[in-house]
Copies of this chain bind each other. A is one copy, B any other.
Amino acid sequence: MNHQALKQEIHAADQAINNKDFDAVAKFYTNEATLVVRPGLLAYGRSDIKEAHKRISEYFNGSLEVSQGGMVIIEAGNTALVLAKTFVKSPEKLDSEYSTERDAIYVYVKDDNGKWLCAIDNSYGVELLQKNA
């Protein structure tokens, strides 16, 4: 499987984030999606996720540039696990306490029209386990 459709959704979502088009960003998620805003803080549902992305953008002084490097995608029916080397650049926010290179974990689900939507967006990956330890 080359996972082209799913990769395109991820790339388009990154573009929407980088363009600060938060209405567009929200549409890449399921209605019941969960976003890990930062370790210990989750946003639930499209509306809260949209607001969270706005706040994340403000935290990075509007200079956030997200992109993905190597990806491993594992599909299982209408569900997919995405492991991604994620790059978080923010030229106007150089003192962020969060990593600029992350091993992110995303869970996508296919809707009734065959479109992949993000159900769980965890750019911190297994780092959350260490915080929990």
Contact = CB atoms under 8 A, between A and B. Distances in A.
A133 B30 CA distance: 30
Contact of A77 (B83, B119, B128, B133): B119
Contacts of A75: 34
Interface residues of A, number: 35
A17 interface: no
Interface in A99-133: 103, 105, 107, 109, 119-120, 122, 125-126, 128-129, 132-133
Number of copies of this chain that the complex holds: 2
Nearest to A29: B76
A133 B103 CA distance: 12
A34 B126 contact: no
The 3 closest A-B pairs by CB, nearest first: A32-B77, A103-B126, A34-B76
Interface in A62-84: 70-72, 74-81, 83-84
Contact of A74 (B30, B34, B81, B85): B34
A79 to B, nearest CB: 4
A42 interface: yes
A105 B126 CA distance: 8
A85 B133 contact: yes
Nearest to A31: B77
Given A105-B105, A126-B103, A132 B79 contact: no
